[in-house]
């Protein structure tokens, strides 16, 4: 991609050339995006006067050059189009630049570029002739008009960015700045006015408030530039699905992971698989891989039943455009299913399909009942041979292909998407890395069998709720301008089965509708573990094609021992040509280079560039897999014999395959944390990739959330523990990834926020305890307020309220969802986050892995019964303690005020206000603890009585009702001999 040190244009492939001073032409001084003069002039003429990558406006000299050369450039482009033999370098090198369009290029160049120039010619010709609209319609036949319209649509962008209206965003930013100023004045007052009578309480409160302000900055500023996006699925079809021609849409491999069928019901997993097989996408482009990490025969047998039922379900969904295409959730909808269904046979077929599904459920539930008690000799398959996975910790790898081009067809004789069962090998003494290891095994298996260029991963309880979800993602990934630098497209998580009030903020609406929109305006949303479509090349550790590779330092980083992404090199900065030459010499162990360049070399140069040994150090000992990594557009390698594919796939999921490779370090899902999703997305963004947040009107995917209190707290505990592990690892965003400068600063703040938020639990617990201590001791953390101090406190509270209101205004989140989020922030902070911090440090310092057990008490309620299910766990102790302490403090404070008289009521107001703030935020916890109809567990009653007794004894010892002077007088009187 470089000739004589001059980079090639990322749009057309021609050398960018030099400017009037003889220097390399640079259109954008902000990001140095390589684009030639001709392309810049064309973009300016089309009205696009900003950089394609960063959006920075082009310089004035480029604009002037475009105006001066307008006529000459038109004639030159027209001549190139009319003479295919003289199209020049502009057309011949396109295939070496665009990896997305390389399959569709011919000797005349990129068809998209050609269509753009032709549409420009048509516009100019129409302007010269200037006919009226009626005359044009009379001159051009209707068929030709439709064809021209289709060509014009095919050249238009597949997605559109819709910035938030300035009328909503400008006040929001203004209030943020004002709140920062008020915070500075507030802390100046607090620090310069200590409370000598309660100095320890005052100092503790100051430290807590400073941390809260720091956390607010980390959370707020990544939301500085939120955006919305809309997709154009019709344009995607016009471009890649032309009538009478094979579909040119990219293939997609779906990953579904499950571990324990007793905790993850097979019926729910079956619904997820069925919704994938019935997705609205070409069947030859869809493959579904189910990872059974528990090697359970129940999962295998239920998948056999699912594959058989799919032969009826898939054609029914596509015939009548069913939504959603998970049968359990489709048949449970409380809607008029006859609406918009005009086929008279629909009612009859729907009833038959529902009857078939009920029979399918009976068969699956029978398998579950059978699996409740395993035989002593272990499970056996139908032919009598023992099930290989009887020992879930010691078994060989297993792969079974159920459906696909060579498998069973549906009842109408049509082909079905491929369905593959995968259970990787497990042996004692090997580290298997849980879900991250299972996902990496699926990456390798899918590369051997189908090798789709894009991967969509789902949890086993997240089904496809919108059949066009994959097309929505392709509107970004297959867009020649947008998709080149995209590592993934993230969809929001939506949930079923949650009560209307969402007591424990299971929907996470504030995060998915506020924070993620803000990140989309920077470098892209974080990866949240499910509902995400990946670019396979990004998972392989490659950098984005349009960015130059970083030179590898002479030695590994002294801090992390990693690649140059972590720490900057001490050598002086090199120009692009030097970076390019050094990147060619670097060891492929890091595997960060542009695969699109390989085709430009002959066989001898290619053999020198791609060392087999280097690839084996990076990807492992599989020649078929290594060859598949070179196919940027996917597809099975031609050298791979079909009869050897399954054997090779078994080889790549062996437990020792990843040893001494880059898997889990630089490639695939990254190891080192239970929240591998955040770590994986973080590494991609550090390499310069960006991501996109896609929010279609109909939720793309839906899942089930843990709706009872204990399960929700344990879910939050796992997330927080993963964040602490990342904080204590070499991948901590506080110090990782500074060398390349590819991670934007606001994006870094967002990632820092994702790993330090559990530590907020320490000041939060202290701050929630202070009101009770103040009420019990009669002291306060704030001195007598002056007029200035009152204005500062009032301004701070108003700025907090106004910021929240304006945030809700541009995001569309309801105030109820925002309030639930605030309440559970306190509940989770004083329980799960607190335990995660201590567990993380124990694991790092002492190697202890602490587990908090959960015991279940069944609920009798039918609807939302699980919401009122009581599961006692250690996580419930800190919030219970805070509730009791603050309630006791409020009672003691009112008693003290009644005893002292009118002058005590003024100071009491501030203390009681903070105590009620704590109780109000913990109210959902208290309600969940009591259950329905006040059925409180005995353990909670005993714990409450114990705490009340302890504080009663402390209360008697303090004895605040007797002043010091009265106590001295009583002692002196007792010594008088009456």
486 strand-pairing partners: 690
For residue 336, say whether it is annotated as part of any ligand binding site. no
Q: Is 349 annotated as a binding residue?
A: no
Is 639 labelled a binding residue? Answer: no
Q: Is 196 a residue of the active site?
A: no
Burial of 894 (0-12, 13-18, 19+ CB in 10 A): middle
DSSP 481: T
Q: Are strands 398-403 and 870-872 parallel, antiparallel or unpaired?
A: unpaired
Strand positions, DSSP E, 497-609:
532-535
Which helix (H) or strand (E) is 127 found in, with range? Answer: helix 111-129
Residue length of the chain:
978
Alpha-carbon torsion, ordered 614, 617, 618, 622, to 10 deg:
100
Q: Residue 649 class from Cβ within 10 Å (0-12 exposed, 13-18 middle, 19+ buried)?
A: buried
Is 857 annotated in a binding site? The answer is no
Distance CA 801, CA 815 (A): 11
Give the CA distances from residue 402 to residues 371, 417, 791, in Å, rounded to whole numbers and listed in that order.
22, 10, 70
Total Cβ atoms within 10 A of residue 70: 13
Q: Are 399 and 317 in contact (CB under 8 A)?
A: no
Residue in 101, 253, 292, 293 annotated catalytic = 293
Task: Report residue 893 as tokens.
Answer: 């404070």
As a whole number of angstroms, the distance between CA 888 and CA 882 comes to 10
Determine whether 260 is an active site residue.
no
Catalytic residue among 280, 461, 677, 817: 677
Q: Tell me if 123 is assigned to a ligand binding site.
A: no
Residue 439: exposure state from Cβ atoms within 10 A (0-12, 13-18, ≥19) = buried
Residue 264 annotated as lining a ligand binding site: yes
Rounded distance between C-alpha atoms, residue 240 and residue 410, angstroms: 26
Which strand (E) or helix (H) includes residue 773? helix 761-777
Q: With CA atoms as reference, report the closest residue to 254 among 422, 492, 457.
A: 457
Q: Is 434 annotated as a binding residue?
A: yes
DSSP H or E stretch at residue 486: strand 486-490
DSSP strand pairing (286-292 vs 398-403) = unpaired
Q: 183 and 789 in contact (C-beta within 8 Å)? A: no
Contact 620, 661 (CB under 8 A): yes
The helix (run of H) or strand (run of E) holding residue 690 is strand 690-693
Contact 226, 169 (CB under 8 A): yes
Looking up tokens 């399909």 gives: 353
Phi-psi region of 230 (alpha: psi -120 to 50; beta: other; left: phi over 0): beta
* Dihedral over Cα of 273, 275, 277, 279: its sign: negative
H or E element in which residue 527 lies: none
Residues acting as catalytic residues:
293, 677
Could you tell me which residues are annotated as the binding site for UDP-alpha-D-glucose? 257, 263-264, 293, 434
Could you tell me which residues are annotated as the binding site? 257, 263-264, 293, 434-435, 459
Could you tell me which residues are annotated as the binding site for Mn(2+)? 435, 459
């Amino acid at each position: 991609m470089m000739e004589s040190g001059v980079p090639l244009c990322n749009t057309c492939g021609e050398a960018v050339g030099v400017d009037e001073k003889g220097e390399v032409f640079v259109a954008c001084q902000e990001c140095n995006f390589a684009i030639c003069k001709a392309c810049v002039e064309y973009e300016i003429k089309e009205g696009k006067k900003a950089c394609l990558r960063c959006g920075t406006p082009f310089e004035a000299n480029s604009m002037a050059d475009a105006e001066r050369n307008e006529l000459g450039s038109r004639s030159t482009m027209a001549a190139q189009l009319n003479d295919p033999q003289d199209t020049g370098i502009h057309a011949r090198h396109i295939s070496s630049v665009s990896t997305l369009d390389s399959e569709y290029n011919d000797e005349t160049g990129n068809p998209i570029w050609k269509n753009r120039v032709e549409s420009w010619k048509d516009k100019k010709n129409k302007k010269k002739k200037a006919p009226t609209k009626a005359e044009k319609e009379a001159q051009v036949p209707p068929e030709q008009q439709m064809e021209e319209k289709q060509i014009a649509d095919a050249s238009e962008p597949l997605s559109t960015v819709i910035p938030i209206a300035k009328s909503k965003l400008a006040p929001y930013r203004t209030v943020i700045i004002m709140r920062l100023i008020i915070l500075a004045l507030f802390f100046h007052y607090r620090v310069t006015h200590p409370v000598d009578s309660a100095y320890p309480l005052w100092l503790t409160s100051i430290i807590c408030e400073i941390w809260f302000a720091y956390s607010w900055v980390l959370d707020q500023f990544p939301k500085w530039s939120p955006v919305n996006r809309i997709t154009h699925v019709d344009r995607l079809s016009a471009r890649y699905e032309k009538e009478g021609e094979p579909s040119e849409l990219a293939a997609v491999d779906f990953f579904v992971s499950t571990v324990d069928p007793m905790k993850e019901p097979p019926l729910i997993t079956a619904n997820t698989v069925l919704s994938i097989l019935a997705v609205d996408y070409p069947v030859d482009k869809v493959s579904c891989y189910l990872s059974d990490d528990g090697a359970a025969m129940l999962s295998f047998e239920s998948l056999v039943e699912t594959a058989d039922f799919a032969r009826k379900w898939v054609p029914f969904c596509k015939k009548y455009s069913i939504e959603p295409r998970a049968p359990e959730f489709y048949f449970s909808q409380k809607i008029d299913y006859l609406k918009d269904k005009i086929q008279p046979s629909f009612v009859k077929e729907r009833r038959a399909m529902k009857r078939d599904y009920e029979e399918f459920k009976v068969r699956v539930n029978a398998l579950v009942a059978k699996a409740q008690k395993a035989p002593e000799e272990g499970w056996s398959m139908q032919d009598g041979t023992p099930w290989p996975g009887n020992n879930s910790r010691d078994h060989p790898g297993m792969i079974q292909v159920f459906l696909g081009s060579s498998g069973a067809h549906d009842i109408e004789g049509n082909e079905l998407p491929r369905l593959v069962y995968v259970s990787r090998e497990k042996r004692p003494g090997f580290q298997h890395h849980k879900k991250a290891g299972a996902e990496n095994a699926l990456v390798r298996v899918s590369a051997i069998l189908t090798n789709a260029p894009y991967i969509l991963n789902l949890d086993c309880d997240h089904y496809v709720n919108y059949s066009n979800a994959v097309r929505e993602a392709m509107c970004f990934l297959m867009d020649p301008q947008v998709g080149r630098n995209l590592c993934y497209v993230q969809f929001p998580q939506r949930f079923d089965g949650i009560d209307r009030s969402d007591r424990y903020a299971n929907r996470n609406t504030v995060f998915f509708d506020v924070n993620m929109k803000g990140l989309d305006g920077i470098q892209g949303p974080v990866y949240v573990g499910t509902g995400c479509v990946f670019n396979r090349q990004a998972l392989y550790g490659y950098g984005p094609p349009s960015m130059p590779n970083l030179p590898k330092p002479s030695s590994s980083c002294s801090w992390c021992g990693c690649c140059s992404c972590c720490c900057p090199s001490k050598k002086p900065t090199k120009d692009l040509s030097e970076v390019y030459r050094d990147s060619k010499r670097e060891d492929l162990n890091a595997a960060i280079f542009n695969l699109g360049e390989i085709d430009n070399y002959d066989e001898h140069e290619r053999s020198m560039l791609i060392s087999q040994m280097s690839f084996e150090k990076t990807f492992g000992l599989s020649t078929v897999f290594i060859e598949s990594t070179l196919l940027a557009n996917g597809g099975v390698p031609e050298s791979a014999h079909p009869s050897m594919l399954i054997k090779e796939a078994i080889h790549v999921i062996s437990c020792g395959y990843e040893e001494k490779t880059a898997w889990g370090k630089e490639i695939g899902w990254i190891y080192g944390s239970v929240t591998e999703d955040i770590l994986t997305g973080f590494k991609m963004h550090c390499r310069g990739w960006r991501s996109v947040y896609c929010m279609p009107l109909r939720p793309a995917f839906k899942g089930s959330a843990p709706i009872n209190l204990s399960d929700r707290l344990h879910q939050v505990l796992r997330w927080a523990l993963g964040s602490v592990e990342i904080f204590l690892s070499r991948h901590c965003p506080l110090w990782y990834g500074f060398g390349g400068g590819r991670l934007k600063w606001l994006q870094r703040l967002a990632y820092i926020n994702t790993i330090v938020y559990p530590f907020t639990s320490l000041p939060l617990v202290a701050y929630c305890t202070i009101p009770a201590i103040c009420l019990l001791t009669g002291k306060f953390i704030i001195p007598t307020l002056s007029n200035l101090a009152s204005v500062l406190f009032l301004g701070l509270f108003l700025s907090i309220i106004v910021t929240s209101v304006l945030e809700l205004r541009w995001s569309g989140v309801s105030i109820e969802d925002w309030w639930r989020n605030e309440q559970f922030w306190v509940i989770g902070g004083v329980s799960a986050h607190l335990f995660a911090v201590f567990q993380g440090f124990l694991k790092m310092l002492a190697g202890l892995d602490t587990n908090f057990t959960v015991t279940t008490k069944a609920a009798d309620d039918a609807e939302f019964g699980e919401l009122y299910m009581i599961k006692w766990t250690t996580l419930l102790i800190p919030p219970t303690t805070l509730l009791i302490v603050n309630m006791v403090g409020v009672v003691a404070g009112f008693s003290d005020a009644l005893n002292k008289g009118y002058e005590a009521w003024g100071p009491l107001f501030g203390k009681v206000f903070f105590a009620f703030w704590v109780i109000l935020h913990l109210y959902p916890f208290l309600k969940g603890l009591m259950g329905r109809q006040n059925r409180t567990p005995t353990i909670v009653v005993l714990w409450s009585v114990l705490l009340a007794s302890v504080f009663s004894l402390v209360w008697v010892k303090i004895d605040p009702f007797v002043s010091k002077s009265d106590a001295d007088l009583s002692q002196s009187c007792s010594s008088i001999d009456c």
